[in-house]
Amino acid sequence: MPVTLLLPGILLPSDVVRALAEPLRSRMLPTLLARARPVADAEYPAPAHLGWLADHVFGQAPPAGTAPYALAALSGTPPPPDAFLWHADPVHLELSRDHLVVLPLPAPPSEEEAAALIESADTVVRDAGATFERAGGRWFLRARRRWDLQAAPLPAVLGEPLYDAMPAGADAPTWNRLLNEIQMTWHAHPVNEAREARGDPTINSVWLHGGGAWAPLPSIRCGAIHADAPELRGAAAAAGIPSSASHSAPRDGALVVWPDAFAACLAHDRDGWITALRAVDARVAGLMRASDVDIVLAGRRRTRRYELRSGDRWKFWRSPRLEEALSE
């Protein structure tokens, strides 16, 4: 079986690819794509790589319920099947012109900050049958029942107007009420007063997403997963297959996820994206020792899959088609 390499954030708008044509020309990845065979394009909700993972790893329509698998990997124990878990990522809301936007924190809150904020937020959600918890530096919300809440993954809403991104569903009014109370509780919290005095962004909201219940994943179509995201390591365990760090040498049939370029793509940082592509290039040579590789490029809403077989690497007469290969 071929190794499948998933590259989130590699596809860019065509005008950006044209502007980067010169620095891209010497990169190994575009050269390999020129010798590979394009197989299929697919469209997903943003960001596309999470839609692809929902389909090919979690066996769910996007957005997948990844939170219980992340918690299982970070805590070492799968949650009970009747527990409903959400990612509860701390964020900063900032006023931009006439609306609020969701922004990531430049660094995770300290252990002391996290413990204090979660303690105060717990007093708000307790009567709704929910509680916050932490594992491995990540925040989760555990509910006693399944909430009808359609929430976009955090990367899809960063920098977007909050009004357009709010969750929908029958339980959305309940969660919005709880969230308003949490925001008021945190507004004058000593943690945020200290952060503001230091010039750090306040932690004034939490983004709920990826809700689901843990269940085995017997239908994963790969022999191993090489990734750093805890939800993917947890998915591998739920499927009964091995997992390891993204930089480890893959076995045949493995899924390898290299998210180097995603943060730069999300931030529209061209220099950062080129730097990330150099990091990908540095690892591609080792991966190419595998006999067959499927390369899945992902952008904001599109994925593109290429098949690279052992004989294709010697087709030196094929020249890179940068705009065709890397444009979304």
Q: Tell me what pLDDT residue 284 has.
A: 82
- pTM of the entire structure? 0.93
| H/E segment holding residue 211 | strand 205-212
Torsion of CA 126, 129, 133, 138, to 10 degrees: -120
What are 121-165's pLDDT values in tens digits? Answer: 999 999 999 999 999 999 999 999 999 999 999 999 998 888 888
Torsion of CA 194, 195, 196, 202, to 10 degrees: -130
Q: Tell me what pLDDT residue 31 has.
A: 75
Tokens found for residue 51:
């839609």
- How far apart CA 43 and CA 41 sit, in angstroms, is 7
Asked if 224 and 254 count as a contact pair (C-beta separation under 8 A), the reply is yes
Asked if 324 and 62 count as a contact pair (C-beta separation under 8 A), the reply is no
Q: How confident is the model at residue 261 (pLDDT cuts 50, 70, 90)?
A: very high
Task: Find how far residue 221's CA is from the centre of its chain.
Answer: 20
Ramachandran bin of 199, using left for φ above 0, alpha for ψ from -120 to 50, beta for the remaining angles:
left
pLDDT at 319 over 60: no
Asked if 128 and 18 count as a contact pair (C-beta separation under 8 A), the reply is no
Q: How confident is the model at residue 35 (pLDDT cuts 50, 70, 90)?
A: confident
Asked if 113 and 203 count as a contact pair (C-beta separation under 8 A), the reply is yes
How far, in Å, are 191, 193, 195 from residue 113 at the CA level?
A: 6, 11, 10
How far, in Å, are 4, 12, 47, 274, 322 from residue 32 at the CA level?
A: 14, 18, 24, 17, 11
Asked if 172 and 166 count as a contact pair (C-beta separation under 8 A), the reply is yes
Q: What percent of the chain has pLDDT over 70?
A: 94
Asked if 243 and 226 count as a contact pair (C-beta separation under 8 A), the reply is yes
- How far apart CA 171 and CA 147 sit, in angstroms, is 6
What are 220-249's pLDDT values in tens digits? Answer: 989 999 999 999 999 999 999 999 999 888
What are 42-87's pLDDT values in tens digits? Answer: 999 999 999 999 999 999 999 999 999 999 999 999 999 999 999 9
pLDDT at 27 over 50: yes
pLDDT at 180 over 90: yes
- Residue span(s) of the chain under CATH 3.40.720.10 come to 3-60+218-326
pLDDT at 105 over 90: yes
Q: How confident is the model at residue 4 (pLDDT cuts 50, 70, 90)?
A: very high
pLDDT at 113 over 90: yes
Asked if 21 and 326 count as a contact pair (C-beta separation under 8 A), the reply is no
Q: How confident is the model at residue 37 (pLDDT cuts 50, 70, 90)?
A: confident
* Cβ-based neighbour number of residue 253 at 10 Å: 16
Handedness of CA 22, 25, 28, 34 (dihedral sign): positive
What are 182-199's pLDDT values in tens digits? Answer: 999 999 999 999 999 999
Q: Tell me what pLDDT residue 315 has.
A: 55
Computed over every residue of the chain, the mean pLDDT equals 91
In the CATH scheme, what is the code of domain 3-60+218-326? 3.40.720.10
pLDDT at 317 over 50: no
Q: Tell me what pLDDT residue 313 has.
A: 54
Enumerate residues 6+ apart whose C-beta is below 8 A from 141: 85, 86, 88, 125, 130, 131, 132, 133, 208
Task: Find how far residue 206's CA is from the centre of its chain.
Answer: 17
